[in-house]
Chain A
Amino acid sequence: EAEVAQSPRYKITEKSQAVAFWCDPISGHATLYWYRQILGQGPELLVQFQDESVVDDSQLPKDRFSAERLKGVDSTLKIQPAELGDSAMYLCASSPRTVKLTDTQYFGPGTRLTVL
């Protein structure tokens, strides 16, 4: 069964450093989401792509976060500079272009970021 891939699985960095996360959605999925999950809370959307275009980045802290999906396939989320409050699980999810009744969003394993 196809799965969403993410790397790295764990990242420890010092504040003010730059970090980058990678996501490879399920093949053929047009929509890609980045969510941030702070410990003890539900995931919150950072950015949504439809193919290579940003659909919603209203909750993305654009002074330090950037996201791209240049060829409409895999995606990179970057933080520069990282702050202590960025420590969280970063989850990538994808969903197909034509949504059937059985479809949903499929989550990757996440990247656990710790900022020291």
Chain B
Amino acid sequence: GENVEQHPSTLSVQEGDSAVIKCTYSDSASNYFPWYKQELGKRPQLIIDIRSNVGEKKDQRIAVTLNKTAKHFSLHITETQPEDSAVYFCAASEDTGRRALTFGSGTRLQVQP
């Protein structure tokens, strides 16, 4: 089955700096890669996703890049703000809505004001 590894496990940045979280996956059949933000005790919230037919996607301060050859994808947050502090999870799936997501182990992001 799929295995997703996520690094780093914790990340501390100064407000205004950029943050990068990286994930690798093992199953070449995976073609859907969402990123979730989870605040303490709350549900995972989708912040951005990418499908294998594109290499990059951007939404305001958030961007995701995908390298299918190397089987890795990354989340980039620019101009970080204190409210970006949370745990971020990457995930992979063969087929949106038809296959379960395999999640990474999470990255705790702390943005220092």
Contact = CB atoms under 8 A, between A and B. Distances in A.
Contacts, number: 58
Interface size class of B (residues with CB under 8 A): 20 to 34
Contacts of A107: 43-45
Contacts of B113: none
B96 interface: yes
The prevalent SS among residues of B at the interface is loop
B105 A95 contact: no
Interface string A31-52: 1010100001111110010100
Max count, chain A CB within 10 A of own CB: residue among B4, B34, B96: B96
Contacts of B97: 31, 95-97, 99, 103-105
A91 interface: yes
Given A91-B43, A104-B34, A110-B43, A43 B96 contact: no
A43 B95 CA distance: 18
Interface of A: 31, 33, 35, 40-45, 48, 50, 56, 91, 95-97, 99, 101, 103-105, 107-110, 112
16 contacts: A35-B100, A42-B6, A42-B104, A42-B106, A43-B44, A43-B101, A45-B100, A48-B100, A56-B100, A95-B97, A95-B98, A96-B97, A105-B34, A107-B43, A107-B44, A107-B45
